[in-house]
Amino acid sequence: MRKKLIAANWKMYKMPDAARDFVSAFLPLVKDHSRDEIVLCPPYVCLPAVIEAVRGSQLGVGGQNIFWEKEGAYTGEISAPMLRAVGCSHVIIGHSEWRQYFGETDDTVNRKLKAALAAGLQPIVCVGEVLEEREAGLTQQVLERQCNLAFSDLSGLEAAPLIVAYEPVWAIGTGKTATPEMAADAHQVIRAQAAKAFGDETARNLRILYGGSVKPENAKALMSQTEIDGALVGGASLDPKSFAAIVLY
Ligand code: 13P
């Protein structure tokens, strides 16, 4: 059985004080919860506050991006060892907003994935089709390409900590969700690519999260699918009660 993981992607929201307040309100709501893993991914500047606030709890903390070099003259960038050094356990890589606004490609996703694994971070690699691709019947092809390139030059052993998030771009921030069946179909495509790249055992153990308008109202239907190993939650993770309701689906 794969343990589910529910991750909050706060994107570019919250100041450090608000991040601390979130954790104070959220922790009591999930204190008896041990079924799933919970990870918070705040903006970089909130990481110290959140890491301090979750100390002693079961919560993990992740960054929302990394650059692939360890250090160097890369103004404004943050490396995987830097996230490790401040206490992060996870990092999101290849989010569709990075692909859309900041020139992320399948190749840079692969470089970042290798850097995260080398530093001992658990990468959450995001893949997903845009609306035109879904309407043109290209979803499977797009997912195969994204996975194939993202997963290249890594062994099954190296890739063991990998987590993938299927985030159909048309469902992000739109209130539209993939049906549980659509998500499960996409997850099977991703798992098949993982099997090709890493072998059956790593693929069997790979956790594939769903992301895109996950809310307290639809979390149970999505999480009840055996193919869905958790959620990557944007908007509904900003409020402690709403994120707790998703965690406790
Ligand atoms: P929403 O939950 O706001 O649709 O965002 C999903 C997402 O992009 C998580 O990474």
Reported as a single tens digit per residue, the pLDDT across 221-249 is 999 999 999 999 999 999 999 999 999 99
Domain count, the chain: 1
Q: Whose CA is nearest to atom 2 of ligand 1?
A: 234
Distance 171 CA to ligand 1 centre (A): 8
Cα distance between residue 230 and residue 29, in whole Å: 19
Distance 212 CA to ligand 1 centre (A): 5
Distance 211 CA to ligand 1 centre (A): 6
Q: Whose CA is nearest to atom 1 of ligand 1?
A: 234
Q: Which atom of ligand 1 is nearest to the CA of 96?
A: 8
> In CATH, what number is assigned to the domain containing residue 45?
3.20.20.70
For ligand 1, pick from 5, 9, 40, 97 the residue to mutate: most ligand atoms within 8 Å of CB: 9
For ligand 1, pick from 101, 232, 238, 243 the residue to mutate: most ligand atoms within 8 Å of CB: 232
Distance 73 CA to ligand 1 centre (A): 32
Partners of residue 60 on adjacent β-strands = 39
Reported as a single tens digit per residue, the pLDDT across 50-109 is 999 999 999 999 999 999 999 999 999 999 999 999 999 999 999 999 999 999 999 999
Whether residue 196 contacts residue 213, with contact meaning beta carbons closer than 8 Å, is answered with no
Q: What is the pLDDT of residue 224?
A: 93
Whether residue 6 contacts residue 38, with contact meaning beta carbons closer than 8 Å, is answered with yes
Side-chain-side CA neighbours of residue 92 (13 Å): 33
Q: What is the pLDDT of residue 203?
A: 97
Cα distance between residue 183 and residue 209, in whole Å: 9
Reported as a single tens digit per residue, the pLDDT across 104-133 is 999 999 999 999 999 999 999 999 999 999
Mean pLDDT across 164-174: 95
Does position 217 have pLDDT exceeding 90, yes or no?
A: yes
Distance 189 CA to ligand 1 centre (A): 21
Does position 1 have pLDDT exceeding 90, yes or no?
A: no
Q: Whose CA is nearest to atom 7 of ligand 1?
A: 234
Q: What is the pLDDT of residue 157?
A: 97
Q: What is the pLDDT of residue 115?
A: 98
Global model pTM greater than 0.85: yes
Q: What is the pLDDT of residue 11?
A: 98
- Residues with CB under 6 Å of ligand 1 are 9, 95, 167, 172-173, 211-214, 232-236
State percent of the chain over pLDDT 70.
Answer: 100
Cα distance between residue 89 and residue 176, in whole Å: 30
Domain that holds residue 178: 5-247
Residue 162: CB partners within 8 Å, gap ≥ 6?
A: 113, 117, 122, 123, 125, 194, 202, 206
Tell me which residues are annotated as active site.
95, 167
For ligand 1, pick from 214, 217, 218, 247 the residue to mutate: most ligand atoms within 8 Å of CB: 214
Mean pLDDT across 155-163: 97
